[in-house]
Amino acid sequence: MSLRARILNGWLRWTEKTFLARASDPAALRRSLEFKARLFFHAPVGMAQVWRDLAGAPALRIAPNAGAGPCHILYLHGGGHVFGSPRTHAAMLATLAKRVGATAVLPRYPLSPEAVFPQSLDHSVAAYLALLDEGVAPGDVVIGGDSAGGNLALAVLADVLERGLPKPAGVFCLSPLTDLTASGDSFVTNADADVVLPASRMSEMKEMYLRGHPADDPRASPLFAAYAGAPPVWLAVGDTEILLDDTRRLAERLTAHGVAVDLSVERDLPHVWPLFHNLIPEAKATLDQLAAWIAAQTAANVPTR
């Protein structure tokens, strides 16, 4: 692990984890991440960001000024289903889209507690179908997400499979939240080691999202969903995260259902570390790996002559 990553871990434990453990107002959580994203996360030059309508709501479209290939990354941001926005994750997606030569689309899905489950999931599915209705081929779409956004990305995949809809080329998740029942051992064993997420607040955020809906519903906890026939899935998580077992057990379930899985468990990196691509080399390396994987999945759908 780099010296910069060690410093970042200490800073996150002292500032971010302390803030998340104390903040109870969703508006305060939202303002905080928006401010920090503007301060620390910066997109590369040569990338255009434009708001557009997608499935009846705003979405942020990010693409190289020089033009993008056919690949589209439909990305669902994290934030515990309560905070975060396309703006907070725009720099990371601009960095990824530039590496792939792709267009990234980040829907503004409805947040809790204002929105009731499954509104955010339904909107995410609608956003995917809207891209297809616009003429984007499903084989040119990769769905991604981090944390709660990873939860939504996997739930979208399960919904697509269950309804027999056209499948995307692949799905990728960064530190995904897959089990809202919090039954993984790492939720307890990594409670102190995790430098970002306070385990003590997860039940509160879960209740804001579910409003009493059963946490073991596969649409809420995609760890329990069926994935037979799914396209390849790429997963990354840090070994000190409380969500470590959410990712490891999901990889096992996907493999059992015959899905091709790429799993990366990184040593002592913080929750969704690729957000810090401006700060630590490990983030850049992970985005490089992910970009190569996305390019491989979409290229596999190009017909041979």
pLDDT digits (tens, 9 = 90+) for 157-202: 999 999 999 999 999 999 999 999 999 999 999 999 999 999 999 9
Residue 269: inside a domain, yes or no?
Answer: yes
- Residues 189/253, Cβ–Cβ less than 8 Å: no
Report residue 232's pLDDT band, with 50, 70 and 90 as the boundaries: very high
Residue 3: what residue type? L
Structure confidence at residue 210 (pLDDT): 97
Residue 305: inside a domain, yes or no?
Answer: no
Q: Enter the tokens of residue 151.
A: 């939860």
Please name the residues in contact with 74: beta carbons below 8 A apart, sequence gap of 6 or more.
105, 107, 127, 128, 131, 141, 142, 143, 144, 168
Q: Number of structural domains, the chain?
A: 1
Owning domain of residue 15: 3-299
Structure confidence at residue 301 (pLDDT): 75
Residue 196: inside a domain, yes or no?
Answer: yes
How do beta strands 103-107 and 72-76 pair?
parallel
Residue 186: inside a domain, yes or no?
Answer: yes
Q: For residue 288, what is the domain's CATH number?
A: 3.40.50.1820
Q: Which of 141, 142, 154, 148 is nearest to 223 (CA)?
A: 154
Q: Is pTM beyond 0.85 here?
A: yes
The rounded distance, in Å, linking the Cα atoms of 70 and 240 is: 37
Residue 282: inside a domain, yes or no?
Answer: yes
Reduced 3-state DSSP string for the chain: CCHHHHHHHHHHHHCHHHHHHHCCCHHHHHHHHHHHHHHHCCCCCCEEEEEEEECCEEEEEEEECCCCCCCEEEEECCCCCCCCCHHHHHHHHHHHHHHHCCEEEEECCCCCCCCCCCHHHHHHHHHHHHHHHCCCCHHHEEEEEECHHHHHHHHHHHHHHHHCCCCCCEEEEECCCCCCCCCCCHHHHCCCCCCCCCHHHHHHHHHHHHCCCCCCCCCCCHHHCCCCCCCCEEEEEECCCCCHHHHHHHHHHHHHCCCCEEEEEECCCCCCHHHHCCCCHHHHHHHHHHHHHHHHHHHCCCCCC
Structure confidence at residue 302 (pLDDT): 57
pLDDT > 70 fraction of the chain, expressed in percent and rounded: 98
Structure confidence at residue 304 (pLDDT): 45
Catalytic residues: 147, 241, 271
Please name the residues in contact with 262: beta carbons below 8 A apart, sequence gap of 6 or more.
232, 233, 234, 235, 293
Residue 182: inside a domain, yes or no?
Answer: yes
The rounded distance, in Å, linking the Cα atoms of 154 and 34 is: 25
Instruction: Please check the confidence at residue 273 and state whether its pLDDT lies above 80.
Output: yes
